[in-house]
């Protein structure tokens, strides 16, 4: 089963990297639009953690030091995206996503027999079928990329639809039906 999952997830890495890259670029654009090219005033807001995110994927393009006596409108320089930093951060996120997602799916598959895994669609999803204790089980597992403003991080959520003998149920109900410890 591990080999099947490894192959299935390897195909998702490129898509996950592109998705993370788009999200990070969008956050950079948002910060530049809201706070300007030098992120002026961001540290006085609740979005101050976005500055750390921008700095992790960008480089300073301007003088290293500018006097505080120069009016803000005359200061030069900006935070511009560094493609190599962006690519590394997106690839790291993709690998982390794959590892998290694999663990999530394995936890649902560990007691299934006659397992079949098929890619659901191009939106980071899988369709899984199998049998457990003589009952038919279907799982539509997805992964959603979100952004947490309070920490300035991208993170994943893993919603799924679970059907036992054609009846939809929550993950907690699924565990209850098969008497698993949550």
Counting the structural domains of the chain, the total is: 1
Both structure tokens of 12: 């998702």
* Contact between 89 and 20 (Cβ < 8 Å): yes
156 falls within a domain:
yes
What does the alpha-carbon distance between residue 75 and residue 14 come to, in Å, rounded to a whole number?
Answer: 39
The answer to whether residue 182 is domain-embedded is: no
Structural domain of 116: 2-177
Residue 18 forms part of a structural domain: yes
pLDDT in tens, the chain (182 residues): 667 677 777 777 888 899 899 999 999 999 999 998 988 889 888 888 889 999 999 999 888 766 677 776 777 889 999 999 999 999 999 999 888 888 887 777 778 888 887 765 555 678 889 999 899 999 888 888 888 877 888 888 888 889 999 999 988 888 888 876 44
Which among 66, 59, 62, 157 is positioned nearest to 104, based on CA atoms? 157
- Residue 2's CB: how many other CB atoms inside 10 A? 8
In-domain check, residue 145: yes
Task: Judge whether 165 lies within some domain.
Answer: yes
């Amino acid at each position: 089963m591990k080999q099947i999952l490894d192959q299935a997830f390897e195909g998702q890495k490129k898509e996950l990297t592109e998705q993370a890259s788009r999200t990070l670029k969008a956050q950079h654009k948002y910060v530049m639009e809201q706070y300007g090219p030098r992120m002026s005033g961001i540290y006085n807001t609740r979005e101050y953690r976005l500055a750390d995110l921008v700095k992790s994927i960008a480089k300073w393009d301007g003088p290293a030091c500018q006097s505080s006596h120069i009016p803000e409108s005359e200061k030069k320089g900006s935070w511009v995206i560094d493609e190599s930093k962006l690519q590394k951060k997106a690839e790291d996120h993709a690998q982390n996503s794959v590892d998290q997602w694999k663990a999530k799916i394995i936890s649902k598959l560990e007691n299934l027999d006659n397992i079949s895994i098929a890619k659901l669609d191009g939106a980071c999803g899988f369709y899984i079928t199998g049998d457990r204790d003589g009952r038919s089980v279907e799982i539509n597992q997805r992964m959603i990329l979100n952004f947490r403003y309070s920490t300035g991080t991208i993170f994943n959520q893993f919603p799924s639809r679970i059907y036992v003998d054609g009846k939809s149920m929550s993950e907690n109900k699924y565990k209850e039906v098969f008497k698993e410890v949550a």
